[in-house]
Amino acid sequence: EEMMRGMNLQDILTGMAAGGKNQKDMASYKFWNTQPVPKFGEDEPLSDGPLRENDLSRVKTVGAELIEGFEWDTVDLTDDQQVREVYELLSNHYVEDSEAMFRFNYSASFLHWALKAPGWIKNWHVGVRVTGTKKLVAFISGIPVTLRVRENSLRCSEINFLCIHKKLRGKRLAPVLIKEVTRRCNLESVWNAIYTAGVVLPKPISTCRYFHRSLDWLKLYETGFSPLPATSTKAKQVTKYALPANTSTKGLREMEAKDSDAVHDLLTRYMERFDLAPKFTVEDIGHWLLNGGSKYEERIVWTYVVEEEGKITDFFSFYSLESSVIGKEETIRAAYLFYYASETAFSKSPDAKKELKVRLNALMHDALILAKKFNFDVFNALTLLDNTLFLEEQKFGAGDGSLHYYLFNWRTSFINGGIDDEKNI
């Protein structure tokens, strides 16, 4: 108790309060120390703004030398064969849980969708190949995104899928990849970036926890994803997570292209309530929520709207991302809660928060029913947006993982956003 006093939520979440056990001291971030990111321990309330000067004339026109035997490549993701190569690299070498039981298995369709969003830039899909065999052994990507960080609008690159072949780990290749993608963003006069990671780096602007809601508890138990609580039985667990066969929200239906303007308008207003949000165009909505016009082999995203008397009052979406069970043939099919919004968020009634809670619980209950119907094993969500209003009631449980949010070359104070302080999540 005493120890906690005087420590802020940010320190608790990033491990600083535990004597920095999840985190190295600043001096040992040999690479990140040289980058325009805020440092730990610098907590003076300075105003929001960039951390280094932007000067296009000083951006190098060619990439830095790579270690002997390797070469840079721009991966062409309009070529299915090259998407396949990225898929192979990630499916064998991308993010695993701390116990190395599961690994993200982003599908080729997912990569098409995530990396060719409106305005995508080919040069930001950076690969490293073995000179002799041309085998792809490392990757990092960026896509353009306009972000609102509090009152500022930033043209950013969203960096994702940083991956190095397991045999090339620990050789300081990651900093080389990061500097190369930075150079390629700078060449487009983009000086800021957003990225997320499970690891603690200088310095998170926000931190979320993963929550999981079992849809097929028995499968999750058998694959080692979910434990059997000491106070329960398998049968009780199965009963606990059972869901009705049909949704119950009146007017709920799949989103169609004709809904794009209404969904765009609703989501834009809903997102104004938060400190960090992407600024979407109607075209972005079509891409992110309508599966880019369903042009991919596999379905990646599902979006439902509620229509009442010709008006769209609510919507929710979730996307599909499997994890492979390491050492087995099996996969866990996970649905991840994506964007949603509800007119209830703008209620002026004295019971507004209660109304929003009731409405979101009804919507998310239907989202769970639909995800179950589409054969997902688990439904995942983070502690962002208004999620803490329904996680508990919808039987989500806290996972082990945290997700830290970072901005490159932008200072802003910590965003407590979706973390529910009262419940101490």
Residue from the set 5, 172, 258, 295 that interacts with ligand MYA by CB under 6 A = 172
> Considering only 23-31, 38-46, 276-284, 360-368, which stretch makes contact with ligand MYA by CB under 6 A?
23-31
Residue from the set 75, 143, 181, 266 that interacts with ligand MYA by CB under 6 A = 181
Query: In sequence order, which residues have a C-beta less than 8 Å from that of residue 199 and are 6 or more positions away?
Result: 404
Residue from the set 17, 20, 32, 395 that interacts with ligand MYA by CB under 6 A = 32
Question: What is the spatial distance between Cα 386 and Cα 390, in angstroms, rounded to a whole number?
Answer: 8
CB atoms within 10 A of CB 52: 11
Residue from the set 8, 22, 31, 64 that interacts with ligand MYA by CB under 6 A = 31
* Residue 176 vs 263, nearer CB to ligand MYA: 176
> Considering only 3-11, 182-190, 226-234, 239-247, which stretch makes contact with ligand MYA by CB under 6 A?
182-190
Q: Does 402 engage in binding with ligand MYA (CB under 6 A)?
A: no
Looking from the CA of 227 toward its CB, the CA atoms found within 13 Å total: 7
Among 62, 67, 70, 64, residue whose Cα is nearest residue 129 = 70
> Considering only 125-133, 158-166, 238-246, 358-366, which stretch makes contact with ligand MYA by CB under 6 A?
158-166
> Considering only 123-131, 166-174, 387-395, 410-418, which stretch makes contact with ligand MYA by CB under 6 A?
166-174
Query: In sequence order, which residues have a C-beta less than 8 Å from that of residue 404 and are 6 or more positions away?
Result: 14, 196, 197, 198, 199, 200, 201, 204, 206, 207
* Residue 324 vs 409, nearer CB to ligand MYA: 409
Residue from the set 3, 62, 199, 230 that interacts with ligand MYA by CB under 6 A = 199
Number of residues engaging ligand MYA in binding (CB under 6 A): 35
* Residue 331 vs 361, nearer CB to ligand MYA: 331
Residue from the set 12, 26, 59, 95 that interacts with ligand MYA by CB under 6 A = 95
Peptide bond just before 236 cis, omega within 30 deg: no
- DSSP of 299-363, one letter per residue? --EEEEEEEETTEEEEEEEEEEEEEEETTSS-EEEEEEEEEEEEGGGG--STTHHHHHHHHHHHH
